[in-house]
Amino acid sequence: MPCCQGCSAVIAFMIGTLCGLCQRKTAAPDNVRVPTPQTPQIPVPENRPPLINIGNGNPTETQELMRARIQARAAKDMVNNTPSSVPGKRSIFFHMVPVAPNPEAVRVMGVASRHFDETESFQDCIDILTDRWSSEWGKRCSERLTKKHLVLHFLKGETFMPDSDIGTVAEFYDAHQRLPNSHRDKCFALPPKMKIPGLYIYLEALILVEEFERDNRCVVPYFIVKPKAQKSHGGRAQFDNNDEEVMQSVKRPRTEIALRSSVPPLTSSFRPNIFQDIQVLFAKSAVDAKGQVTIGVPDMNAEQPTEPVSISTEILSQGESQYVYKGLYKGQLYAFKRFKNVGEGKNNVSLTQNQDQVVLEAKRLLRLGWFNSSFEMCAQECNVAIEATRVTEVLIAFEMTPQDKDPSTACGYRDYDITLEDTPMVWLMEPFRPGNSEKWSGTNQHPSHTDSALGSTINAFAHFVYEASFGTIAVADIQTSRGRVGNKAFDILFDLTTHTTSGTYITPPIGMDTPSRCPF
């Protein structure tokens, strides 16, 4: 048997005089053969054609291109939701699906989807997504499809929160995220087997076929209507002068004709919410270290620069003592409030009484804001963790009416009344809060505060105000809504009610640098 001369190992099949181990030991380092790394090969199915060199004819480049192609095919049904590259901003993914009588519309028009920054307008995003359908729509119709003829909703017809779609993308998203779990799940539901990573908004856009044809005097593309109705639509490219007769010539089901003939015409009291531009002067307010509030009423007779605002002509809501209108100031939504039922009888409030009540309400909210700042400072000194809260911002706006113009419609007064009293309409302005709010009642919250950090914080704040005011002020009927102050999110406290030992509407002055009694 052959034997290794180096280690005397007996090897049946040996080439040379040394075994492999001895050959490695005796070989010089320069003679060591290092295996060349092999490029991993992408497995190709048997039914696939052989690889073809692409580009520069480099096989490695070919394999890289094929690998990218395979990865793209594997991720075809997955939505890419890359976060925003802008620091401090969220990126929210929109996924809008067309809904029409013919399911074929989804295949032809496609799904409109895109990322948007949270600061963009919700309505502008809808315009951009709708424009993505203009290519296929414009090939078969002379008029563009706009959001005017779309009804937007969530999956399975779940509707939006009221007025949640008039602000930014972040306001729309956050308004529905704050809903109770069961309702929130319906708003962010997805079709089966569909997953969207990150923040998203899934919408369905119902196309109003009859309204589009009536307003634009042309027919919708064939893929929008049902196959049975395509024959009547295909023969008409657009309406002529006898468009009403042509519309009547479109065959309708007998049940639909009978139903329409038996139902009386609908009447509605709805009126469009029109915004009216006005000029205002803002009062200057200040709160000192002792909680004393001073408000400087502007001089109406002096020449001062005014600021433009817009206010709706219709009442948004009303309570026992206030009318609330929606308005715009510097591009932000505000609630404009004026008083009622606090003067001489029901709905009889003079302009002077309204101004007095607005000033008192502003002082009350500003002083409660000082209490909130002192409460937060006390918690920091005691090293107690609390939820971040702020009392709502408040502005006092004096409506300026030029001599050649009438007061705003929302004002509710004539120019004669303003001239007679020599007092303008004064508005109390607060940031508009869309969506649901949580209701609390000071020491007796409606929600339980035992398992809620926010509830515990508000409970401690109510005790803090009572102790810090030496038992003269009790806070109740607190409402909170999530919002932003600057670049930070807070729970905003608003519609607070205060009860005082003096029985007055306004909270009494405290007269101390910082509250001396702390509940912690």
Q: What is the 3-state secondary structure (H, E, C) of 136-182?
A: HHHHHCCCCCCHHHEEEECHHHCCCCCCCCCCEHHHHHHHHHCCCHH
Answer yes or no: same fold for 91-251 and 275-500: no
Strand order in the sheet with 150-153: 112-117, 91-99, 200-207, 150-153
- List per-block mean pLDDT (blocks of 10 residues) for the chain, which spans 520 residues: 68 66 59 48 50 49 53 43 55 92 86 91 92 85 88 87 83 86 86 90 91 86 75 48 45 47 51 80 92 88 88 87 91 90 74 91 93 93 91 94 83 82 90 78 57 83 89 86 82 86 54 42
The pLDDT value given to residue 391: 93
Retrieve residue 299's tokens.
């001089």
**3-state secondary structure labels for all residues of 427-489:** EEEEECCCCCCEECCCCCCCCCCCCCHHHHHHHHHHHHHHHHCCCCEEEECCEEEEEEECCEE
The pLDDT value given to residue 364: 92
Which has the closest alpha carbon to 70: 50, 49, 44? 44
Return d(Cα 293, Cα 244) in angstroms, integer: 66
Beta bridge partners of 324: 317, 337
Please report where in the chains the tokens 């309708």 appear, as a residue.
252
Which has the closest alpha carbon to 117: 125, 128, 109? 125
Please report where in the chains the tokens 């398992």 appear, as a residue.
451
Q: Give the CATH number of domain 91-251; options: 1.10.10.10, 3.10.20.90, 3.40.50.720, 3.20.20.60.
A: 3.10.20.90
Return d(Cα 424, Cα 19) in angstroms, integer: 109
Residues present in the chain in total: 520
Burial class (CB in 10 A: 0-12, 13-18, 19+), 192: exposed
Residues 6+ apart with CB under 8 A from 311: 275, 276, 278, 325, 326, 327, 328, 336, 408, 410, 427
Burial class (CB in 10 A: 0-12, 13-18, 19+), 436: middle
Please state which CATH number belongs to domain 275-500: 3.30.200.20
Per-residue pLDDT of 376-385, as tens digits, reads 999 999 999 9
Query: Quick count: other Cβ atoms within 10 Å of Cβ 369?
Result: 19
Retrieve residue 490's tokens.
């807070």
Q: How many helices (H) and strands (E) does the chain have?
A: 14, 19
- Give the C-alpha distances (Å, rounded to integers) separating 63 from 35, 40, 73: 21, 9, 15
The pLDDT value given to residue 183: 82
Tell me the domain boundaries of the chain: 1-31, 91-251, 275-500
Backbone angles phi, psi at 422, to 5 degrees: 55, 35
Return d(Cα 391, Cα 373) in angstroms, integer: 9
Q: Is 277 helix (H, G, I), strand (E, B) or coil?
A: strand
Backbone angles phi, psi at 294, to 5 degrees: -125, 135
The pLDDT value given to residue 89: 77
Query: Quick count: other Cβ atoms within 10 Å of Cβ 324?
Result: 17
